[in-house]
Amino acid sequence: MTIITPRHDWTREEIAALYDQPLDALLGQALTVKRENWPDGTVQKSQLLSIKTGGCAEDCGYCSQSAHFETGVAAEKLLPLEDVVAAARRAKENGADRFCMGAAWRSLKDRDLPKVAAMITAVKAEGLETCVTLGMLEEGQAEALKSAGLDYYNHNLDTSREYYGSVITTRTYEDRLETLQRARQAGVKLCTGGILGMGEGRADRVGLIHELSQLSPHPESVPINMLVPIEGTPLGSSAPISVIEMARAIAVCRIVFPKSWVRLSAGREGMTEEGQALCLLAGANSIFVGDRLLTTDNPGIDKDEALLSATGLAAAGHAEMENGPRRTTLIGGDSA
């Protein structure tokens, strides 16, 4: 029987068994879960803006913005408020319902908190759902962000505990979990997922999903990224992961996190239209739009419109989608 409500007692063995199913069985199960929890035929558009680019003190092996690597990305100052608001307005005009702001910091400094809070308040006033990723949080900062109108805090676990040290050495797994806990305690929703294609094995992908499943309540948002290799980073020559493996991970996330957003995030630029459609069929219900994701390319508006047209999906807002299933009427008048 397919479980369609959240559970917090998943074992690694159960998740591995899901992951290893024949693809048709896995996708069928994921689609059943999705249709019981989310409306048919809709996808949310999110847009991401780098509000402070480059010069990060962390050594994340995939990141073009790390000060440890020579990638050609220069350190810049925090964007002015008016530039952020203008970008949010353009995103909304292009159909985005969610606006994410990312800063290349190891952690949020108190001196920058009022400026970021003002950005959140201004973007919220434009009628957009808000998300930020600012590195680690200290005591009291999450509460201030929440007061400014923040909906989601993004802080990815990236990979399994076992493989994490092969990717990052300047911040521990526990550091990441502590920041997630600070956000959760402040009443901010969690956006946390991982990156596939960093040289990890399937067991690590299972480990990541299992780790996320232990959070209670589950993260409201689970982004799944395909590594975009950046020249100059330690992972810049990583072998690409297959789109089928991406679809498997997305399908497992849809089953394990039935009421969470599962976001098809970085890496779409390197996928075919058919590959992206497979990931959407597997259970993703949100995509990132706009020409850039922080410092990497993303499909343009024309390509996104072609994708939605080909799949018959319509962009919809979070409020509509979170209301739950909306059945499609079949030939003969019955409802599916």
Q: Which amino acid is at 259?
A: K
DSSP state of 197: -
Between CA 235 and CA 230 the distance in angstroms is: 7
Catalytic residue among 98, 100, 182, 268: 100
| Residue 253 among the catalytic residues | no
Between CA 65 and CA 229 the distance in angstroms is: 13
Between CA 208 and CA 193 the distance in angstroms is: 8
Catalytic residue among 98, 131, 182, 253: 131
3-class state of residue 70 by DSSP: coil
Catalytic residue among 171, 176, 182, 191: 191
Catalytic residue among 171, 182, 248, 263: 263
For residue 254, what are its two tokens?
Answer: 């849809």
| Residue 191 among the catalytic residues | yes
| Residue 279 among the catalytic residues | no
CB count, 10 Å around CB of 181?
A: 14
Catalytic residue among 7, 12, 35, 63: 63
CA angle 146, 95, 262 (to 5 degrees): 60
Task: Find out whether 250 and 230 touch, Cβ atoms under 8 Å.
Answer: no
Query: What residues are annotated to the active site?
Result: 56, 60, 63, 100, 131, 191, 263
